Structures are given as structure tokens and as C-alpha cells.
Amino acid sequence: MKLIKLLANLGYGSRKEVQRLIRAGALSDDQGNVLGEGECPPHAAIRFRGAPLDPPFPLLVMLNKPDGYTCSADDPGATVYDLLPARFALRNPVLSPVGRLDKDTTGLLLLTDDGQLLHKIIHPKSSCLKIYHAELDRPLEGHEAALFGSGELALKSDSKPLLPARLEVLGEREALVTLHEGRYHQVRRMFAAAGNHVLALRRVAIGGLRLPADLAEGEWRELTPDERLLIFAGTLGA
């Protein structure tokens, strides 16, 4: 790929802006040699103002989403893109959330610019589980696990019933819910159908990938190769 296109796709500026940057000597290789438009060494050897370039396509990051941030890039309020380097919102192909979390849901959010990977993770046939920790307004009554697991629970205005979901009771008002799909406000609507109300919701795992304990709220990082594999591996006993 040409240097101008590479930099523009990574969000460093429009092609014209990037051309100006290159002409001003902002690009060099890892030996400090200034790069011209016609040169494009391997990605890892390119420096922008002395710093390594942002990661190439395909990018896959995990974010510990805090409360109060939406997953939509065009929301006028705080968005998850505010927690990432500003250039990430300008990448081409675009960096998209892998299944959205509600504004008030916290926890594990993946973002990628790889459309194929995104669809593979969110497609119900991928059997890629999502696990949520829910804190509830009222005590669990005991009927919820059977209701959620029935495969017959139809939420208002949905044409099809939900796929069977697993409920693991952790306390009187606390549970883990494992889903194989991702419908709008699904966990909150499931508990509402069971006569309860979710006070706080956190996604703790996607497939076999758990939210790392050392990833503080608002922090992000790229996945390691092993973590990528975990998304499609194992079911955490769910």
C-alpha cells in the first residue's frame, strides 16, 4: 500500500493533509531516515514524528466500558470513542463496536475494523456466548432460570422467542446471565418479563474471553493472539 493511503486510512489526516505531512518530513523509518511519498517500508518500521504508527488493519481492541458512554460514534454526548485515541474514530475501514452495550451497561466491549470478524462474533450461529452480571431491584423468585432457559420467552414486539439463556444465581438479587444472541436491551427486558428490574448490568465475558481484572474502567488495549482465540473457545462452563 502507498504511504499516503496507509496514513490516511489510519486516520492521520486526509490524503492531502498526509501528503503535506510527508513533504514536511514527519515520516521516517526506524533508522531515522526521512520517508518520501514513494517509499513504504514494513508497517513496524514506520515512524510518525518519531513514534511507531498506530496498529494496522485488522485491529481488535477490548475496552472496559464505564457507565454513561454510548457505543454510537455520532452521539452528541460521551461515546466510547472518547476513551480511545482520537485517530481510531477516523480509521478506514471504520472501527465499530462488536455488538453494542447500552449507555448504562458497563464491562467488556470489543471494537474492530474487521467486518468479517465482527459478524462472526455477533452471529447467533457462532455460538459465541456473552455473559452478563446483573444486580436486581427485587429478590429472585426461583422461576427465572426455567423461564430464561425455555426457548419460549417472547419479548414484547419481538417476532421470535428468545434462544434459551442460562441464569446462574449468585445471591438474592444478583445473577449471571449467558446469552447466545444480542437483542435490544435483552437482559433488562428478560428480567422485566420475569417481574424484576435490572439496577446495574456489566458484561463480564464474550466466549471464553473474560474481562481482565487489570483492565480498569475506561481503559482499553489490543487483544493478544491467545485472547483472540478465546473469543471462540470454551463456554466457561455456561
For ligand URA, the binding residues (CB under 6 A) are 101-102, 105, 132, 185-188, 201
Q: How far is the CB of 223 from ligand URA (least distance, A)?
A: 20
d(CA 25, CA 116): 36
Q: Which residue, 27 or 71, is less far from ligand URA as judged by CB?
A: 71
The C-alpha cell that represents 149 in the structure block: 432457559
User: For residue 19, which amino acid is it?
Assistant: Q
Q: Which residue, 29 or 168, is less far from ligand URA as judged by CB?
A: 168
Catalytic residue, chosen from 75, 102, 104, 114, is 102
Q: How far is the CB of 201 from ligand URA (least distance, A)?
A: 6
d(CA 65, CA 220): 9
Q: How far is the CB of 203 from ligand URA (least distance, A)?
A: 7
Q: How far is the CB of 205 from ligand URA (least distance, A)?
A: 13
Positive or negative torsion for Cα 44, 45, 46, 47: positive
* Residue nearest ligand URA, CB atom distance: 105
Does residue 102 carry a catalytic annotation? yes
Q: Which residue, 47 or 166, is less far from ligand URA as judged by CB?
A: 166
Q: How far is the CB of 179 from ligand URA (least distance, A)?
A: 7
The C-alpha cell that represents 17 in the structure block: 493533509
Q: Which residue, 6 or 206, is less far from ligand URA as judged by CB?
A: 206
Full DSSP string of 34-76? BPPTT----GGGEEETTEEPPPPSSPEEEEEEPTT-BS-TT-S
Strands 105-112, 130-136: pairing kind:
unpaired
Q: By C-alpha distance, which of 236, 209, 208, 235 is closest to 221?
A: 209
Contact 130/118 with Cβ under 8 angstroms?
no
46 bridge partner residues: 29
Q: Which residue, 35 or 131, is less far from ligand URA as judged by CB?
A: 131
Catalytic residues: 102
